[in-house]
Each structure stands twice: as structure tokens, then as C-alpha cells.
């Protein structure tokens, strides 16, 4: 059977098949067979982490609740002390210890810095580590679904190592040629938010007129491209001329404008939509929403994803033109992507296919190191970021392997320490990763250890 609003997608989708380990050519050792845990701790677990010790754990904590726009000094980088590199024996239930690789800065996190308990997600606790979405490598596990070496995504902490006490909420990532960090953006919460908001809330029809505010952001850039794939006319707004050009040249929007250069937003929208707006994907609120309401067409739909212009206000501005909902029969609905989690497998298949076919482009901004996390987060609210903001906790080496072999990742310092003159000058530098010819591994002893699953546990921040 097929999804009623997505005839191209089945109602249930099989997760990406797990790549079967192959045999290694030449002197390379074979991959170990996959391990399955059936009890909280087994011999397989001990073999997967034979040198469990401890490591220093730096973390970013919230100093105190705030009621304004965030500043860097609202957060602090602290030494969390030594963390054992295994799940504690006395844990109340199955748990997973992970080494965080990529962490995401998202606008919704601003709301968790307030002393407000009436939202869909609780606030952060002052003095405690900030929580956010991340991609991580499993170091130790007492959950039967995860073993050391697995790459996962889900809610974790802004720290080097996190103990996840609800591992059922983690998603195991099947490694492919798609960058791991994309599982926090294109294939993660922002991408899924765009997919749900556009297809489920907006119910688009081919040929309709679509407007996206904050269109160069992590969600907006994807919404615009989904609308173009659906055959719609799409206009986006952004806060700099550079972002405007990005929307048109990179993401394929039909038109875009810098809202800061428009003295009259109502007139600007009338200029870009002389026949009116069918669909508005709302990300900013405030004066932009008021102007949109005056320009909506009959039976228009508004998907309320967020209102970033109101995040730093203790007294949010009201909306003046809500009465337009009545004569124009406009539908306006807020949504949370997690309410539609049953669609996530279909979303993954759909987005992966279109990305690999070159029909969806994606950009991300990346900072390196936990020490830069506060500045990266503050940049979200000052217009410094074009797209999704990530920060790289642990630099990785990506190995290209023969056909049929999954990619493997290990800390970059393992290769840098053992670098030899045999390194090919054609080795490709790509997105903070170096892609290395497989032949090179024969002269890099620590890389061979990485292929057998014996990862270095030394923390590495760049």
C-alpha cells in the first residue's frame, strides 16, 4: 500500500540494509564478524572493548536561565573529570556510552534556556551539560541493539563522551557515501521537519505559489527544494544578499529577497506574488507573518514551524492581521516533527534517493571543537550562519574501500602520528575528512588496528 499524500512512497519502508562485511585484499586483515548481544554484558562485549579505561570529558554547561537572546558567556566549557570508558555495572537498565563526533546547534534549544516548564520539551538544568542532537560512535553498550563501533544519531550531550540511558531513542546509522554529519541536517531533524511540514501540513498541489521565510536555514533550504520538486513556484526571504544569491543559485528558488532591504514587507510580497500566496512555511513570525496574511490566497495553508524573531523577547509582539484567516478560509497549523515519527523511514528513503540523484543540494556550516560551541550557537540568532550549524567534536579519517566494503572511521590523529612519505599527494581533502587510498593502509599500523575495531580511546579535539 502507498502513503495517501505521497503516492511514490510505501506506507512502510525497510531500513537501509546492513552492509555485509567482506574479506580484505592483500595483507589487510578481514573484518570481524558482527557481534550480537543477548544479555546486558557478554563475552562479545568484552572483546569489543578490550582496553576499557578512562578519559577526560570536557563539556559545555548552561550557567543559568536567561530571558533574552543568548550570549557566549551564558555557557561555559568545563572539565567533567575522568569518565570510565564502559557502561557502569550498576546501571538501572540498558545503556550506551558514546564518543560524540558531531553535535548540532538548533534554534529550538534557545527555548530550553528559559525557566519555563510548559513546553513540549523540558528546559536545561543550570550547571548541567547542554543537550542536543548528535552523531556519535558507540564505545560500550549493555543494550542488545548496539555494539562498540556502531555509529548512531540521537539526543546526546555537548561533551566528548555521553552515557545514554534511553538507547531505544538512538538511530543506528548504516554508513554510506553520504557524510555522517548529514544525519543531523538533511537526513536528520531539520530535513524531517521540512518534509513533514511541507507534505503533511501544507498539502501542496502542483503549480501553487509557495513562500518560505528564513529560507537559507537548515529547514528552509530543504522546504524550497521539496516545493520545486513538487512543481511549485517558490520564493524565499533571507537576511543578507549573499544568502539571497545562495537561494537562487544553489537551491533553485525561483526568486528571493533580502527582507532587511524592504521597507514595506506587504508591498514586497505583493511584488513577488501578484496572484497571492498559496502556502507559507513560517519560520520567523512578527511583521513578516502580518505581511503574509494580507497576501494569502483563498484556502491558503500556513505551516508554523517556528518564530525565530520572537525567541529573544520577554514580551513577544502580537499579530495584527489574524482576521484574514476568516474571509480567506486560511488554515494555519503549528506542528512538531516527532508527532509524525512513523513517516521517518519513508522520509529517509525519499531524501536519500533525491540527494544521490543530484536533485537536492545541501549546505552546512561547521565549527571545530567544543570550545567553539557557544559562539556557534549564538551565531544562529545573529544571522552569521547560512545553513545548519554543527561543530566537530572529534576529527575523523574516512577510508575508501573496495566495492562492497563499508566505510570505516577512526580518529585522525592515529594517521597523522604514523604519517609516512608514501602518502599519495592525490589524497583528497573533503569536509574535514581525508579520503585515503586503501593501499596506503599497508604502511599505517594504527589504521590496521582501526579496521579490526580496536579504536583509540584518546580524546582528540581539534
- List the 433-436 sheet strands across, edge first: 408-411, 396-399, 433-436, 428-430
Contact 206, 233 (CB under 8 A): no
Where is pLDDT greater, at 210 or 404? 210
How confident is the model at residue 268, as a pLDDT?
Answer: 97
Looking from the CA of 171 toward its CB, the CA atoms found within 13 Å total 21
How confident is the model at residue 394, as a pLDDT?
Answer: 52
Cα dihedral sign, 49-53-58-59:
positive
| Residue 122's pLDDT band (cuts 50, 70, 90) | confident
How confident is the model at residue 141, as a pLDDT?
Answer: 93
Where is pLDDT greater, at 257 or 171? 257
**In what helix (H) or strand (E) does residue 135 lie, and over which residues does it extend?**
strand 131-141
Looking from the CA of 346 toward its CB, the CA atoms found within 13 Å total 20
- Report strand pairing: 433-436 vs 428-430: antiparallel
Phi-psi sector, 48: left (phi>0), alpha (psi -120 to 50), beta: alpha
CA atoms of 62 and 157, how far apart (whole Å): 12
Where is pLDDT greater, at 436 or 140? 140
Task: Tell me the pLDDT tens digit for each residue of 16-51.
Answer: 333 333 333 333 333 334 333 333 343 333 334 445
How confident is the model at residue 12, as a pLDDT?
Answer: 41
Cα dihedral sign, 147-149-152-155:
positive
Nearest residue to 77 (alpha-carbon basis) of 62, 66, 67: 62
How confident is the model at residue 392, as a pLDDT?
Answer: 64
Residue 48 backbone phi and psi in degrees, to 5: -70, -25
Residue 250, classified by CB atoms within 10 Å of its CB into exposed (0-12), middle (13-18) or buried (19+), is middle
How confident is the model at residue 37, as a pLDDT?
Answer: 33
Q: What does the mean pLDDT of the chain come to? A: 75
Angle, CA of 232, 235 and 236, to the nearest 5°: 130
Task: Tell me the pLDDT tens digit for each residue of 40-81.
Answer: 343 333 334 445 588 999 999 999 998 888 889 999 999 989
| Residue 379's pLDDT band (cuts 50, 70, 90) | confident
How confident is the model at residue 355, as a pLDDT?
Answer: 94
Residue 30 CB neighbours (<10 A): 11
User: What is the chain's alpha carbon radius of gyration, rounded to the nearest angstrom?
Assistant: 24
Nearest residue to 218 (alpha-carbon basis) of 120, 108, 111, 131: 108
Residue 338 in grid coordinates: 516527532
Domains of the chain, start order = 54-184 (3.90.180.10), 189-357 (3.40.50.720)
How confident is the model at residue 271, as a pLDDT?
Answer: 97
| pTM > 0.75: yes or no | no
| Residue 90's pLDDT band (cuts 50, 70, 90) | confident
Question: Which residues, 6+ apart, have CB-to-CB distance to 90 below 8 Å?
Answer: none
> Alpha helix (H) ranges present in 274-410?
286-295, 344-356, 373-379
Q: Among 50-54, 240-244, 278-282, 444-448, whose mean pLDDT is lowest?
A: 444-448
**N-terminal to C-terminal alpha carbon distance within the chain:** 49
Amino acid at each position: 500500500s502507498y502513503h495517501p499524500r505521497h503516492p511514490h512512497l510505501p506506507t512502510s519502508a525497510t531500513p537501509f540494509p546492513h552492509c555485509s562485511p567482506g574479506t580484505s585484499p592483500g595483507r589487510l586483515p578481514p573484518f570481524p564478524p558482527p557481534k550480537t548481544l543477548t544479555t546486558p554484558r557478554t563475552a562479545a562485549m568484552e572483546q569489543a572493548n578490550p582496553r576499557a579505561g578512562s578519559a577526560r570529558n570536557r563539556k559545555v554547561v548552561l550557567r543559568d536561565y536567561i530571558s533574552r537572546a543568548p550570549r557566549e558567556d551564558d555557557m561555559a566549557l568545563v572539565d567533567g573529570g575522568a569518565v570510565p570508558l564502559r557502561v557502569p555495572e550498576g546501571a538501572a537498565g540498558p545503556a550506551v556510552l558514546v564518543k560524540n563526533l558531531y553535535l548540532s546547534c538548533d534554534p529550538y534549544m534557545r527555548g530550553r534556556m528559559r525557566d519555563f516548564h510548559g513546553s513540549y520539551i523540558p528546559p536545561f538544568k543550570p550547571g548541567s551539560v547542554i543537550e542536543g542532537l548528535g552523531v556519535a560512535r558507540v564505545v560500550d553498550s549493555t543494550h542488545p541493539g548496539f555494539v562498540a563501533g556502531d555509529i548512531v544519531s540521537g539526543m546526546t550531550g555537548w561533551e566528548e563522551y555521553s552515557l545514554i540511558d534511553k538507547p531505544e531513542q538512538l538511530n543506528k546509522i548504516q554508513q554510506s557515501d553520504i557524510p555522517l554529519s548529514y544525519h543531523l541536517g538533511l537526513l536528520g531533524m531539520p530535513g524531517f521537519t521540512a518534509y513533514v511540514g511541507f507534505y503533511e501540513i501544507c498539502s501542496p498541489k502542483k503549480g501553487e505559489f509557495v513562500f518560505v521565510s528564513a529560507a537559507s536555514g537548515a529547514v528552509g533550504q530543504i522546504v524550497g527544494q521539496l516545493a520545486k520538486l513538487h512543481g511549485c513556484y517558490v520564493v524565499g526571504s533571507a537576511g543578507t544578499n549573499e544568502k539571497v544569491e545562495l537561494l537562487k543559485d544553489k537551491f533553485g528558488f525561483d526568486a528571493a529577497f533580502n527582507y532587511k532591504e524592504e521597507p514595506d514587507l506587504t508591498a514586497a510580497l505583493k511584488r513577488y506574488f501578484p496572484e497571492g500566496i498559496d502556502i507559507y512555511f513560517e519560520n520567523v513570525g512578527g511583521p513578516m507573518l502580518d505581511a503574509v496574511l494580507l497576501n494569502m490566497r483563498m484556502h491558503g495553508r500556513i505551516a508554523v514551524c517556528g518564530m525565530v524573531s520572537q525567541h529573544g523577547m520577554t514580551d513577544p509582539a502580537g499579530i495584527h492581521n489574524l482576521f484574514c484567516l476568516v474571509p480567506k478560509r486560511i488554515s494555519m497549523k503549528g506542528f512538531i516533527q516527532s508527532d509524525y515519527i512513523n513517516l521517518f523511514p519513508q522520509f529517509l528513503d525519499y531524501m536519500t534517493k533525491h540527494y544521490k540523484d543530484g536533485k537536492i543540494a545541501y549546505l552546512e556550516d561547521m565549527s571545530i571543537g567544543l570550545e567553539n560551541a557557544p559562539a556557534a550557537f549564538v551565531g544562529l540568532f545573529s544571522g552569521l550562519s547560512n545553513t545548519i550549524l554543527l561543530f566537530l567534536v572529534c576529527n575523523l579519517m574516512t577510508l575508501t574501500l573496495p566495492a562492497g566494503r563499508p566505510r570505516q572511521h577512526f580518529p585522525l590523529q592515529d594517521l597523522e602520528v604514523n604519517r609516512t612519505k608514501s602518502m599519495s599527494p592525490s589524497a583528497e581533502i573533503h569536509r574535514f575528512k581525508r579520503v585515503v587510498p586503501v593501499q596506503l593502509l599497508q604502511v599505517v599500523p594504527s589504521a590496521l588496528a582501526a579496521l579490526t575495531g580496536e579504536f583509540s580511546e584518546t580524546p582528540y579535539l581539534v
